[in-house]
Amino acid sequence: MRPPGHDAACAPPLTAVRLAAWSLALGALALLLLPYAGQVGFTGFMADDALYLLLADALKPAHAGDPLLVYVRQVAHLPPLYPALLALAGAGSDALARAHLVQGVLVVAALGVQAAYVRQVSGSDRLGLLTLAVLAVLPATLLFATELWSEFLYLVLAGLALAGAHHARVEPRAWYWAAGLAGLAATTRGLGLALVGALVVGVAARRRRALPAVVALAALPLLLARLAGQGDPGGYVDVFDARVANLLRILDVVMANLHAAGAGCAGLFEDHPGMPARVVGGLVAGLALVGAWPRLRRLEVDAVYAGLYLGLVAIWPFPDFMTRFLYPLAPLALLYL
């Protein structure tokens, strides 16, 4: 896409024609994805799906005191924001259709926010709309839209946080709301800690006097979740310790994840990737890494975030879920091409 060194200080003005183009694109996306996500039926019981539904049940007043749900809340390590949103919308294990509707809305919002960020950085409506179209038809998007996972809520929050960090070059106070959104992203997915770290690096490099406030605002959602007894981060530590006992084992995990990365990238383009998908995935990943390098050297927040995110993925001992872990970086990969 646009060379990374040519960032726009801010997005081009949203004229009536541009607004109409984006409205039509998002409307078409909603018409495509909302019925698709809403008619998948009784799916959403793989991986974390069932646990998210039970956590949503546990947050509903009607289920207060249920011993099973109390136990689930105590032992679940998943961040709390996504099940809280499901519960607020009245979704749960007894309202699957509503849960899928919520997920469909999040899919549309996530793709729109990520495409808008590409527009903001590149200064190009065409590149933003192209990103929206590519993400909409990406097989991984269509597959993940049928699951009840937190990725799309995370993409909404992460995209808004990155947009705030970019806007901070013309409005320094934007660092503060970017920090709050990054903290919310980290209460949606544990890997969101990479976004918090990237914001800290960006603020330290560009507006050091704002660093204490940014750190405090980013930590606030995590602290509030902890005080509410939700999303114990110790659960992640326990999972990690159970699978990674020593330094040599960490090296084994990293090597296994690097080996799985090729199939993970290919999985974005095909559910059971063959050689063509592997070639395309490898080519896109390679070009994206090359394109990200100049931004990383300038300590642009999105590139630092991508690097920290990949670092966390590299040591997380679940190579079988590599496509799911890499999917949130797909919009940035399109920006870096």
Q: Write the DSSP assignment of 102-113 as a string of letters.
A: HHHHHHHHHHHH
pLDDT value, residue 42: 60
Q: Where is 124: in which H helix or E strand?
A: none
Task: Dihedral sign for Cα 30, 31, 32, 35, please.
Answer: positive
Tell me the residue type at 197.
G
pLDDT(266) > 60: yes
Helices 275-297 and 301-315 meet at what angle, rounded to 10?
130
Query: What does the mean pLDDT of the chain come to?
Result: 90
**Which long-range contacts does 325-330 make (Cβ < 8 Å, 24+ apart)?**
325/191, 325/264, 326/261, 326/264, 326/265, 326/268, 327/140, 327/141, 327/144, 327/151, 327/268, 328/151, 328/154, 328/155, 328/158, 328/189, 328/191, 330/135, 330/138, 330/140, 330/268
Residue in this structure with the two tokens 């190579």, named with its chain if needed: 319
At residue 92, the 3 state secondary structure works out as strand
Residue in this structure with the two tokens 């326990």, named with its chain if needed: 238
In angstroms, the CA 147 to CA 37 distance is 9
Q: Of the given ranges (84-98, 152-166, 236-250, 300-314), which has the lowest mean pLDDT?
A: 236-250
Q: How confident is the model at residue 238 (pLDDT cuts 50, 70, 90)?
A: confident
Tell me the residue type at 274.
G
Tell me the residue type at 200.
V
In angstroms, the CA 222 to CA 190 distance is 10
Residue 90 backbone class (left: φ over 0; alpha: ψ -120 to 50; beta: rest): left
Residue in this structure with the two tokens 């310790």, named with its chain if needed: 241
Residues 112-137: tens digit of each pLDDT: 999 999 999 999 999 999 999 999 99
List Cβ neighbours of 274 (8 Å cut-off, separation of 6 or more): none
Q: What is the mean pLDDT of residues 245-253?
A: 82
pLDDT value, residue 239: 77
Tell me the whole-structure pTM to 2 decimals: 0.94
- Listed by start position, the domains of the chain span 10-226+240-336
**Which long-range contacts does 71-75 make (Cβ < 8 Å, 24+ apart)?**
73/229, 73/230, 75/235
Q: How confident is the model at residue 5 (pLDDT cuts 50, 70, 90)?
A: very low
Residue in this structure with the two tokens 């200064």, named with its chain if needed: 123
Q: What is the mean pLDDT of residues 246-260?
A: 88
Q: What does DSSP assign to residue 271?
A: S
